[in-house]
């Protein structure tokens, strides 16, 4: 979830620690940062009263200093905080119940403790050995880490590893080829990680503005922006899901090359175990791409060509290829780190739901696979809204599956088009949405006969939901931001808004999509009560409702008059045929000029006039 959405979700008490931490950093930084000082002055120094958008803007301006302070605080927080941060910054854990985080922590602690005991036997057996093998290298790192932790005690100070010492140890680990899992296990041997106390440590992390904890729902939130910040502090070049995506495109020989370069066993190890071992080693992605995956005798031009092929395999849209090996490696990393928005936009909300439903139908175990892949709670319901909140894109799902599984899916779905199987599957769902958009008016009228004539099979009970989803798809094609995160946050079992369009960090349009089989839509009193409830819910989380927009096949005269005379809320009405006409005008222009403000005029909107002015 984005920071602005988290701020809108939690209450004032639950975001107070983050606000206080940001307030202190902004106060200190204002003296030498004119832009930040100006923004801070606009709030009169009262961040507590600022809107979610204003707080988010301040966070962006103060980010370098914020990151520096968080890094400093984490360095003083001990091994337990480091382990917890590692768990919270992993894919799928940015929104999770406290009890599930505690279970993940217990599982991780058990693995680290077992590995630490196994390494202990290494050190006792290598004391008299002269061989410079892995046990010897681990013993050297162990001795240096022990010295860094205990050298303070000689001058009567508490034993801690400073930020400078940590930097030196990281270089040493890299030169000695000590993998990330072994580093953690060795440190656990010297300075044991507490087995309990997760709740107290979460509060400690909350104090330094890393997490939000909802007491009511017992849920931990880590905004996407904070996850990215933590990755930078951890020197983590890519999110885990993106590293796995890369490894799954490698051949068996390339995976073996990576393992051989780090003295790991390859004989009798199957493909999945190779991927799992490389993933857990915590290697630099740059080193894997530039060096480890290639044979030693592979020439530079061949390595560059292999990265060019990898860019295609990962379906990355890059403007240039780069002339050097390092440039191509950097392009791959940058593209994956900034891919989320593009990957969500590749399918409309409707297309994503259809994709997930179809994949689940052909692969009933898909939800369970997602829970395993992204460490989701076993009893948690998996749907597209939940996946969006966890920043899990359609590409993440398809790249989670093996090439053989993808080919089998393509065949089962009767997709005959040639090309990359994953891309072809995605495009087929984009096409399905386009077909529904073409027949948007028939969908609005609930005209099953016409839809069937156009080879669109749909149950009558599903028409309302489909109309809502296609309306979202049209808004997205018009370049509007359909905010599914906010919609999920404000919806209750009783009040469920159809569509929320974000105009800015704080301003929104509430959209309602209404079908009608009997002709003109005429239920004003019922619709009015609904939208007013949604307005109240949005305002309660700090959003300003610029307009309510109702889309229907047509409206009765009484409905139009009632909407125009309503003094409590601003309502605009738009006929389905008019919205389709606006979309067609938008598509026909080379450089369309469309603004959501065209929907805020009130009353029955003149689609012809809007289409003409795009």
Q: What dihedral angle (degrees, nearest 10) is formed by the CA atoms of 193, 194, 196, 201? A: -80
265 and 134 Cβ atoms separated by less than 8 Å: no
In the predicted structure, residue 411 carries a pLDDT above the cut 80: yes
Query: How far is 572 from 527, CA to CA, in rounded Å?
Result: 13
Rg (CA), the chain: 28
Q: Are strands 481-482 and 499-502 parallel, antiparallel or unpaired?
A: antiparallel
What's the angle, vertex CA 433, arms to CA 432 and CA 435, rounded to 5? 65
- The token pair at 208 is 């330094």
- The order of strands in the sheet holding 544-552 is 481-482, 499-502, 507-513, 544-552, 571-575, 603-604
User: Which residue is listed with tokens 């229907």?
Assistant: 552
Q: Which residue, 471, 507, 506, 502, is CA-closest to 484? A: 502
Please report, rounded to a whole number, the percentage of residues in the chain having pLDDT higher than 90: 47
Query: How far is 140 from 103, CA to CA, in rounded Å?
Result: 33
- The token pair at 33 is 């940062």
Please, which pLDDT band fits residue 180 given cuts at 50, 70 and 90? Answer: confident
pLDDT at 563: 92
Q: Express each pLDDT in 121-140 by its tens digit.
A: 777 665 555 667 788 888 88
Print burial letters for 316-344: b (CB count within 10 Å at least 16), e (below 16): eeeeeebeebeebbbbbbebbeebbeebb
Query: How far is 259 from 447, CA to CA, in rounded Å?
Result: 60
Signed CA dihedral, 173, 177, 179, 185: sign only: negative
User: Which residue is listed with tokens 């409707």?
Assistant: 350
Find the mean pLDDT for residues 259-283. 90
Quick count: other Cβ atoms within 10 Å of Cβ 66?
23
Query: How far is 512 from 465, CA to CA, in rounded Å?
Result: 11
Please report, rounded to a whole number, the percentage of residues in the chain having pLDDT higher than 70: 97
- The token pair at 82 is 């480091």
- The token pair at 404 is 């053989």
Q: Write phi, then psi, for 468 (nearest 5 degrees).
A: -60, -45
Choose between 27 and 336: higher pLDDT.
Answer: 336
- The token pair at 134 is 């892995």
Report H helices in 97-197. 98-125, 134-150, 163-176, 180-190
Query: How far is 468 from 484, CA to CA, in rounded Å?
Result: 13
Residue 547 pairs in a beta bridge with 509
- The token pair at 260 is 């051989």
57 and 38 Cβ atoms separated by less than 8 Å: no
- The token pair at 4 is 């602005």
Q: Express each pLDDT in 5-52 by its tens digit.
A: 888 888 888 889 999 998 888 887 777 777 777 766 666 556 777 777
Residue 575 pairs in a beta bridge with 552
Signed CA dihedral, 486, 490, 491, 492: sign only: positive
Query: How far is 306 from 304, CA to CA, in rounded Å?
Result: 5
Quick count: other Cβ atoms within 10 Å of Cβ 294?
21
Residue 152 burial (C-beta neighbours within 10 Å; 0-12, 13-18, 19+): middle
Find the mean pLDDT for residues 216-244. 93
Query: How far is 607 from 87, CA to CA, in rounded Å?
Result: 51
pLDDT at 150: 85
Q: Express each pLDDT in 545-603 by its tens digit.
A: 999 999 999 999 999 999 999 988 999 999 999 999 999 999 888 788 888 888 988 99
Query: How far is 199 from 197, CA to CA, in rounded Å?
Result: 6
Query: How far is 367 from 242, CA to CA, in rounded Å?
Result: 19
Residue 474 burial (C-beta neighbours within 10 Å; 0-12, 13-18, 19+): buried
- The token pair at 328 is 């191509």
How many CA within 13 A on the CB side of residue 129? 15
pLDDT at 45: 54
Mean pLDDT of the chain: 88
DSSP 3-state percent helix, strand, coil across the chain (nearest 5): 60, 5, 30
Query: How far is 353 from 336, CA to CA, in rounded Å?
Result: 23
β strands within 480-570, DSSP E = 481-482, 499-502, 507-513, 544-552
Residue 574 pairs in a beta bridge with 551
β strands within 440-498, DSSP E = 481-482
Please, which pLDDT band fits residue 219 given cuts at 50, 70 and 90? Answer: very high
pLDDT at 127: 57
In the predicted structure, residue 524 carries a pLDDT above the cut 70: yes
Q: Which residue, 277, 312, 314, is CA-closest to 292? A: 277
Choose between 446 and 35: higher pLDDT.
Answer: 446
Print burial letters for 541-564: b (CB count within 10 Å at least 16), e (below 16): bbbebbbbbbbbbbbbeebbebbe
Please, which pLDDT band fits residue 362 given cuts at 50, 70 and 90? Answer: very high
**In the chain, where the domains are located:** 3-77+208-233, 98-198, 240-295+303-312+326-338, 479-614
pLDDT at 43: 61
Q: Express each pLDDT in 184-203 by its tens digit.
A: 999 999 889 999 999 999 99
Residue 500 pairs in a beta bridge with 510
Query: How far is 353 from 153, CA to CA, in rounded Å?
Result: 59
325 and 310 Cβ atoms separated by less than 8 Å: no
pLDDT at 46: 67
> DSSP string spanning 212-253?
EEETTTTEEE--HHHHHHHHHHTT--S-HHHHHHHHHHS-HH
């Amino acid at each position: 979830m984005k920071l602005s959405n988290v701020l809108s979700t939690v209450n004032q008490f639950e975001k107070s620690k983050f606000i206080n931490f940001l307030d202190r950093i902004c106060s200190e930084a204002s003296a030498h940062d004119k832009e930040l000082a100006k923004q801070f002055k606009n709030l009169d120094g009262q961040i507590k009263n600022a809107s979610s958008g204003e707080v988010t803007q301040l966070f962006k301006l103060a980010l370098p200093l914020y990151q520096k302070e968080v890094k400093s605080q984490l360095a003083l927080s001990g091994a337990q905080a480091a382990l917890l941060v590692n768990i919270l910054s992993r894919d799928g854990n940015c929104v999770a119940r406290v009890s599930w985080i505690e279970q993940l922590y217990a599982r991780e602690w058990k693995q680290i403790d077992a590995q630490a005991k196994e390494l202990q036997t290494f050190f006792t057996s290598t004391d008299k050995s002269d061989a410079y093998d892995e046990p010897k290298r681990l013993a050297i790192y162990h001795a240096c880490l022990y010295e860094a932790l205990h050298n303070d005690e000689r001058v009567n100070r508490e034993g801690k590893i400073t930020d400078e010492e940590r930097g030196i140890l990281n270089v040493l680990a890299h030169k000695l080829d000590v993998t990330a899992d072994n580093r953690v296990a060795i440190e656990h041997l010297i300075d044991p990680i507490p087995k309990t106390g997760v709740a107290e440590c979460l509060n400690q992390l909350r104090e330094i503005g890393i997490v939000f904890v909802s007491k009511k729902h017992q849920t931990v939130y880590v905004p996407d922006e904070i996850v990215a910040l933590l990755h930078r502090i951890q020197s983590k070049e890519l999110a885990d899901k993106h590293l796995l995506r890369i490894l799954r495109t490698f051949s068996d020989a390339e995976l073996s090359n990576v393992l051989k370069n780090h003295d790991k066993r390859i004989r009798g190890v199957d493909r999945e175990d190779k991927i799992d071992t490389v993933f857990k080693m915590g290697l630099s992605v740059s080193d894997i791409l530039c060096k480890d995956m290639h044979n030693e005798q592979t020439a530079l031009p061949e390595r560059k060509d292999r990265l060019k092929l990898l860019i295609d395999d990962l379906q990355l849209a890059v403007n240039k290829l780069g002339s050097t090996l390092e440039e191509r490696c950097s392009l791959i990393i940058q593209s994956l780190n900034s891919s989320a928005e593009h990957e969500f936009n590749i399918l409309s909300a409707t297309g994503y739901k259809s994709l997930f439903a179809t994949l689940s139908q052909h692969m009933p175990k898909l939800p369970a696979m997602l829970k395993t892949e992204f460490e989701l709670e076993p009893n948690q319901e998996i749907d597209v809204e939940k996946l969006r909140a966890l920043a899990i894109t359609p590409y993440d799902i398809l790249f989670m599956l093996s090439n053989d599984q993808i080919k089998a899916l393509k065949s089962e779905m009767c997709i005959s088009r040639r090309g990359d199987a994953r891309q072809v599957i995605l495009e087929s769902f984009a096409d399905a949405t386009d077909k529904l958009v073409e027949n948007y008016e028939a969908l609005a009228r609930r005209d099953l006969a016409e839809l069937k004539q156009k080879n669109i099979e749909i149950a009558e009970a599903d028409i309302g939901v489909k109309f809502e989803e296609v309306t979202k798809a049209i808004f997205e094609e018009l370049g509007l931001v359909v905010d599914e995160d906010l919609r999920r946050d404000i919806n209750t079992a009783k009040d469920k808004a159809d569509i929320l369009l974000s105009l800015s960090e704080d301003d929104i349009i509430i959209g309602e999509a209404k079908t009608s089989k009997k002709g003109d839509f005429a239920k004003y009193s019922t619709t009015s009560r609904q939208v007013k409830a949604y307005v109240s819910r949005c305002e309660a989380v700090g959003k300003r409702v610029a307009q309510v927009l109702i889309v229907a096949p047509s409206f009765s005269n009484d409905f139009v008059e009632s909407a125009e005379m309503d003094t409590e809320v601003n309502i605009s009405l738009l006929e389905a045929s008019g919205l389709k006409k606006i979309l067609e005008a938008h598509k026909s222009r080379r450089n369309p000029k469309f603004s959501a403000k065209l929907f805020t005029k009130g009353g029955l909107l003149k689609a012809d006039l809007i289409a003409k002015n795009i």
